[in-house]
Structure 1
Amino acid sequence: MTDLEPTAQQLWDSRYAEKPLMWSGRVNAVVAELIEPLEPATALDLGCGEGGDVLWLAERGWHAAGVDVSAVAIERATRAADDRGVTVRASFERRDLQVDGVPTGLFALVLASYLHSPGELDRRSILRGAADAVAPGGRLLVVGHAAPPPWADEHAHHHHLPSLDDTRADLAFDDEWTIEVSEVRAREVVAPDGTPGELLDVVVLAKRH
């Protein structure tokens, strides 16, 4: 990195500052579908953004912690937890996973949703740290973009989007794990111009013995 290149925090703070809210505040649909049946316990969300998944978990009885590199995102997530009355069960911390690593501790659920960045990101180390943070009997859920949106400019997503095979290789699960979901899923969305579109996501859910 040269002195002229922004840090990860500067990059994401700048992006979040472009609008009052970057995301909808709603839970990721994959998270809702796969996690809803589980008994509430402890959870860690890596790259939590403005906290939608953490807030959803907290509202369902989980004690959930979210970390993100952006101070702007963390401030919004903390304010949203207060607005939604879940500050007892939802906590947030600004943390650069690239520099500081995954928080210590063991959790019944670890989420790593859309860990992509136009800047430098050692995704393999972060995902393996995420796996190490899963308690015995707990689960790791990884969700990522399998391809850029069909309406995106060809230069808009110049960084590599890991495939399902890439993600499985990064995780390097051994016989300590049972893989419950491993697939590429399509979801229907509305493009910026109002037309229907389809996005593809890599989804891996694994349980630790």
Structure 2
Amino acid sequence: MRATDRETYDELYRSAPAVWSGRPNRQLVVEAADLPPSRALDAGSGEGGDALWLAERGWRVTAVDFSPVALQRGAAAARARGLADRVEWVHADLEEWTPSAGGFDLVTAHYLHARSAGERAELFRRLAAAVAPGGTLLVVGHLLDAAAAHHHGAGHLDPAVFYRAEDVAAVLEPGEWSDVVTETRERDHGAAERTGNPVPDTVLVARRASRAR
């Protein structure tokens, strides 16, 4: 079974009351803690840890995922924390769904899987187009070579799910972005221990220019 099947993720989320920790991803905290709250898109939101963290900091968040089980769990957590009016939960496949062009001051995507390298490139182009002038694009994945080695022999994982931040940078329109950073960063130790996955993060952070150069 491919890692991009919605049914796979629904089964994963049904397997436990909470699959993930509920805490925000480390790179989101690093990059967004000092940003002024505005409009954010959490692409591949899962159970909503990142979306809820942003909402608590004053952001209005659109959280998108293709697992209705995960979205229901996130929405319940939002209600329990008094954040229901700050997060819109959208059930959609990101490989088919197109966000509003320039509609978000922060677009964040952690560990998105795609069915192929070509579809992944188109997905990241759509996410990049959703960033408003002056806004931030944050994409975090499992480092390609390290992930492939760590998951060697894991038949449910397809090589297409792995990439480098430089692959994301390659789809950005020249002249429209400033301060494009591509880095390998150590994964959060707690997350590595919980998931059994120590693979480093490949991280892209880019700011859309206030106006095209």
Normalising to structure 2: TM-score of the pair?
A: 0.84
Task: Identify the structure with bigger relative contact order (alpha carbons < 8 Å, sequence gap 6+).
Answer: 2
Deviation at 1:50, TM superposition (A): 0.4
Deviation at 1:11, TM superposition (A): 2.6
Deviation at 1:167, TM superposition (A): 2.6
Residues 194 and 70 of structure 1, relative CA distance in 2, 3 Å threshold: closer
Structure 2 distance, partners of 1:138, 1:110, is 8
Residues 46 and 110 in structure 1, CA contact (< 8 A), matched pair in contact too: yes
Where do residues 112-127 of structure 1 align in structure 2 (5 Å cutoff)? 112-116=109-113, 122-127=119-124
Aligned to 2:204: 204
Structure 2 distance, partners of 1:12, 1:111, is 20
Aligned to 1:102: 98
Q: Residue by residue, what CA displacement relative to the aligned partner does 1:122-143 show, whole Å, maximum 9, x if unpaired?
A: 2111110001101111111101
Residues 33 and 95 of structure 1, relative CA distance in 2, 3 Å threshold: same
Structure 2 distance, partners of 1:180, 1:138, is 12
Deviating more after overlay: 90-99 vs 131-140: 90-99
Structure 2 distance, partners of 1:6, 1:158, is 7
Q: Residue by residue, what CA displacement relative to the aligned partner does 1:145-192 show, whole Å, maximum 9, x if unpaired?
A: 1132976553254433102332322x3341110134310111253666
Residues 111 and 140 in structure 2, CA contact (< 8 A), matched pair in contact too: yes
Residues 166 and 182 in structure 2, CA contact (< 8 A), matched pair in contact too: no
Residues 58 and 64 in structure 1, CA contact (< 8 A), matched pair in contact too: yes
Residues 17 and 72 in structure 1, CA contact (< 8 A), matched pair in contact too: yes
Counterpart code for 2:186: A
Query: Identity over the aligned pairs, expressed in percent?
Result: 39
1:50 alignment partner, one of 47, 50, 62: 47
The count of residues paired between Structure 1 and Structure 2 equals 202
Q: Which has the higher helix share?
A: 2
Counterpart code for 2:83: V
Residues 81 and 87 in structure 1, CA contact (< 8 A), matched pair in contact too: yes
Q: Residue by residue, what CA displacement relative to the aligned partner does 1:62-100 show, whole Å, maximum 9, x if unpaired?
A: 11110000000000010010111111211211111123x
Residues 3 and 158 in structure 2, CA contact (< 8 A), matched pair in contact too: no
Where do residues 159-174 of structure 1 align in structure 2 (5 Å cutoff)? 159-160=159-160, 161-169=162-170, 171-174=171-174
Residues 150 and 199 in structure 2, CA contact (< 8 A), matched pair in contact too: no
Aligned to 1:176: 176
Are 1:155 and 2:151 an aligned pair?
A: no
Structure 1 residue runs of 5 or longer lacking an equivalent are none
Deviation at 1:17, TM superposition (A): 1.4
Q: Which has the higher strand share?
A: 1
Structure 2 residue runs of 5 or longer lacking an equivalent are none
Give me the CA root mean square deviation.
2.8
Q: Residue by residue, what CA displacement relative to the aligned partner does 1:27-53 show, whole Å, maximum 9, x if unpaired?
A: 001100110011000000110000111
